[in-house]
């Protein structure tokens, strides 16, 4: 078959119109831009429908923007569906997805997401010790936003594992990486917004996050590589791909490293299958374990999560669940009400640092491989490889973060007006895309792949490296750099 | 510079453009064949050192993985054409 090369990386701008990574930037920046109109007195984003804790289901959804209270929850839901359907279908078209299948898959996922999101806000699930009386309850699970997250994940896993033909059909629209990267661009708005209350904390979090990431790279990768090489006698290339996949940032690192060491594509594909399953296992078990053991060091827990959980989607999801669990536990323990989002931010920020370095890391590996190990005569490694592997959604995240930071610090007079447009984006849109991520992760996760896998040794090494080496070391590194940092109090 | 599209068909690395096409089970052998072909090819013969850029066709990677990392690798070799 003649290859057209339409999916090669030729120029620095290759993929801007066709890659989901870039489309996370475009979607994120588009809605961020709409939010900025509030500075001029026009709210273009407040129509988003947002579930709230309910006993009476007719009061389970509200519209976030003051200017849109008149349209009511039903029209809020319809507007949210229409706007995001158009936006994502345009993205799907440019990404050369099957738009018809994407549309139906997206619609199914969107409806199920909102159904689970609303159901998960039933007061028995979400209410905490301070709000039970308001809903006339003697008991509640105190899961906050974590309840709907978990519900979405469970629904997704049921579809992915028991309704396989449906899961395959929905696969065209179940894009957890696209959704979470878009959510992370929206998170940039939240961090810029939150920095008003705690600028020093954000700065410290960013700085220690970068330091922890570098330390983690230098410990995780060689350690995992040695386990694979010395303990399990894996070949060099397989060990390198495994080491990156398990210890750095999951599938993206496995693929980047596979390319760097010139491995046959089958190797990172095989490792990626395991990464996705293990990421969901971590997402399910680590938040309650960290909540039970690290309630006095919430930022350590968040940063360790960022280092231990692979794939952006699973990490952000795990951080969000832990954010809810820890805040509710703290409230129940001593009545302290931590501000929401900081624990998630610590998990995501650490992960983003890790993501940002993968291009450089893979480039260094390629240099070592080409010039020192394989010594292939006449071969050069183009420096442009660093850019081609750079996670572009980080640009959107930084733009939204610094734009809001700049507005709020340089133009304090417009702060209140800017917040009107920021809130629906950082709260409504961000959480919607988190929810979509949870459901999508579940849909594409098939636990039987572990049982069907004929690479038992690979499963074992992954287990040992992740739970015996990486997670404990992540906790130690996170403790060294983040201990003593406490979550700012809720306003 | 000569540009080739590179991919792996499951058993061999394949590099080619509309003009030339070669396949080999390892990149070392692929490079040897590319060199031979370029040296003997009428269009490139005797033109001094030629750089051959091989850009990986990322459609080789399954679609569900490309959402995590859309790029595998590009590589460049130098061929002395005499």
Task: Determine, yes or no, domain membership for A490.
Answer: no
Considering its fold, how many domains does chain A have in total?
1
Mean per-residue pLDDT for A398-422?
90
Instruction: Output phi, psi for A233, to 5 deg.
Output: 55, 35
Whole-number Å distance between alpha carbons of A48 and A73 = 9
Would the CA dihedral through A139, A142, A146, A148 be positive or negative? positive
> Which of helix, strand or coil describes residue A374?
coil
Residues 18-37 of A with CB under 8 A from B: 19-21
Token reading at A410: 């340089």
With CB atoms and an 8 Å threshold, state whether A385 touches B74: yes
pLDDT confidence bin for B23, thresholds 50/70/90? very high
pLDDT confidence bin for A108, thresholds 50/70/90? very high
pLDDT confidence bin for A36, thresholds 50/70/90? very high
Contact between A309 and A287 (Cβ < 8 Å): no
Render pLDDT for A423-457 as a digit per residue (tens, 0 to 9): 999 999 999 999 999 899 999 888 877 666 556 78
Closest-CA residue to A227 (of A467, A477, A447, A452): A467
Euclidean distance between the first and the last CA atom of chain B, given in angstroms as a whole number: 16
Residues 175-214 of A with CB under 8 A from B: 175-178
Task: Determine, yes or no, domain membership for A147.
Answer: yes
DSSP character string of B5-58: EEEE-SS-EEEE-SS-EEEESSHHHHHHHHHHHHHH-TTTTTSSEEEEEEEE-G
pLDDT at A6: 66
Instruction: Output phi, psi for B17, to 5 deg.
Output: -140, -165
| Closest partner CB to A7 (pick from B58, B68, B77) | B58
With CB atoms and an 8 Å threshold, state whether A269 touches B62: yes
Instruction: Tell the residue number behind the tokens 């008149």, with chain if given.
Output: A70
A226/chain B closest Cα distance in angstroms: 24
- Residue B11 touches partner A, C-beta closer than 8 Å: no
Q: What was the ipTM of the complex prediction?
A: 0.90
Render pLDDT for A322-347 as a digit per residue (tens, 0 to 9): 999 999 999 989 999 999 889 999 99
Whole-number Å distance between alpha carbons of A86 and A110 = 13
With CB atoms and an 8 Å threshold, state whether A259 touches B77: no
What's the whole-number average pLDDT of chain A? Answer: 90
Render pLDDT for A147-185 as a digit per residue (tens, 0 to 9): 888 899 999 999 999 999 999 999 999 999 899 999 999
DSSP character string of A7-34: TS--STTTTTTT-HHHHHHHHHHHHHHH
Judge whether residue A9 has pLDDT over 90.
Answer: no
Q: Containing domain of residue A347, as a range?
A: 20-482
Mean per-residue pLDDT for A130-149?
83
Whole-number Å distance between alpha carbons of A324 and A345 = 12
Residues 6 or more apart whose CB falls under 8 angstroms from that of A170 comprise: A105, A108, A109, A159, A443
pLDDT confidence bin for A126, thresholds 50/70/90? confident
Whole-number Å distance between alpha carbons of A12 and A275 = 29
Whole-number Å distance between alpha carbons of A68 and A307 = 40
pLDDT at A117: 94
Q: Which residue in chain A is spatially nearest to B28 when comparing CA positions?
A: A376
Q: Which residue in chain B is spatially nearest to A441 when comparing CA positions?
A: B64
CB atoms closer than 10 angstroms to residue A462: 22
Strand B74-80: give its sheet, edge to edge.
A379-380, B74-80, B49-56, B2-8, B13-16, B21-24
Task: Determine, yes or no, domain membership for A13.
Answer: no
Mean per-residue pLDDT for A349-361?
87
DSSP character string of A455-479: -HHHHHHHHIIIIIIIHHHHHHHHH
Strands B49-56 and B2-8: parallel
Token reading at A152: 């979405």
CA angle A15, A186, A488 (to 5 degrees): 140
Task: Determine, yes or no, domain membership for A8.
Answer: no
DSSP 8-state secondary structure symbol assigned to residue A339: P
Report how far Cα B49 is from the mean position of its chain's Cα atoms. 16
With CB atoms and an 8 Å threshold, state whether A379 touches B77: yes
pLDDT at A305: 93
Whole-number Å distance between alpha carbons of A30 and A36 = 10
């Amino acid at each position: 078959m003649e290859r057209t090369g339409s999916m090669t990386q030729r120029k620095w701008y290759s993929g801007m119109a066709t890659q989901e990574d870039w489309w996370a930037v475009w979607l994120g920046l588009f809605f961020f831009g709409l939010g900025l109109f509030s500075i001029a007195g026009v709210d273009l984003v407040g129509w988003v429908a947002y579930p709230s804790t309910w006993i009476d289901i007719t009061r389970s959804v509200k519209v976030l923007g003051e200017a849109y209270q008149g349209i009511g929850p039903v029209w809020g839901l319809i507007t949210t569906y229409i706007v995001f359907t158009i936006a994502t279908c345009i993205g799907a078209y440019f990404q050369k997805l099957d738009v018809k299948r994407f549309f139906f898959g997206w619609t199914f996922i969107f409806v199920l997401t909102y159904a689970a999101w609303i159901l998960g806000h039933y007061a028995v699930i979400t209410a905490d010790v301070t709000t039970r009386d308001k809903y006339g309850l003697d008991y509640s699970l105190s899961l906050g936003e974590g309840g709907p997250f978990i519900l979405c994940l469970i629904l997704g896993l049921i579809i992915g594992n028991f309704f396989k033909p449906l899961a395959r059909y929905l696969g065209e629209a179940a894009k957890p990486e696209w959704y979470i990267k878009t959510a992370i661009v929206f998170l940039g708005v939240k961090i810029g917004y939150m920095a008003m209350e705690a600028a020093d904390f954000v700065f410290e979090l960013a700085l220690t996050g970068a330091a922890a990431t570098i330390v983690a790279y230098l410990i995780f990768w060689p350690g995992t590589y040695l386990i694979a090489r010395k303990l399990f006698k894996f070949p060099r290339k397989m060990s390198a791909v495994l080491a990156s996949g398990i210890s750095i940032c999951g599938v993206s690192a496995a693929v980047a490293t596979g390319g760097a060491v010139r491995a046959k594509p089958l190797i990172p594909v095989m490792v990626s299958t395991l990464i996705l399953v293990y990421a969901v296992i971590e997402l399910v078990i680590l938040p309650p374990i960290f909540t039970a053991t690290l309630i006095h060091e919430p930022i350590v827990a968040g940063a360790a999560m960022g280092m231990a959980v692979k794939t952006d989607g699973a990490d952000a999801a795990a951080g969000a669940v832990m954010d809810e669990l820890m805040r509710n536990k703290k409230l129940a323990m001593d009545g302290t009400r931590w501000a929401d989002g900081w624990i998630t931010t610590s998990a995501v920020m650490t992960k983003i640092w890790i993501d940002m370095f993968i291009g450089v890391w893979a480039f260094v590996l390629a240099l070592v491989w080409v010039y020192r190990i394989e010594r292939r005569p006449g071969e050069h490694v183009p420096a442009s490889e660093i850019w081609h592997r750079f996670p572009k959604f980080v640009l959107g995240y930084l733009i939204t973060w610094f734009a809001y930071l700049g507005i709020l610090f340089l133009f304090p007079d417009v702060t209140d007006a800017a917040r009107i447009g920021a809130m629906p984006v950082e709260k409504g849109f961000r959480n919607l895309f988190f929810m979509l991520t949870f459901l999508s992760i579940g849909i594409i996760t098939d636990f039987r792949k572990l049982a069907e896998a004929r690479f038992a040794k690979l499963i074992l090494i992954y287990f040992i490296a992740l739970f015996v080496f990486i997670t404990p070391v992540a906790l130690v590194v996170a403790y060294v750099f983040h201990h003593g940092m406490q979550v700012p109090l809720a306003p | 510079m000569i540009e080739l599209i590179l991919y792996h068909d499951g058993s061999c690395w394949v590099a080619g453009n509309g003009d030339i096409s070669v396949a080999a089970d390892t990149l070392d052998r692929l490079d040897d064949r590319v060199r031979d072909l370029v040296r003997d090819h009428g269009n490139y013969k005797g033109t001094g050192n030629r750089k051959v850029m091989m850009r990986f066709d990322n459609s080789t990677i399954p679609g569900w993985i490309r959402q995590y990392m859309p790029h595998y690798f590009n590589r460049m070799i130098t061929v002395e054409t005499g």
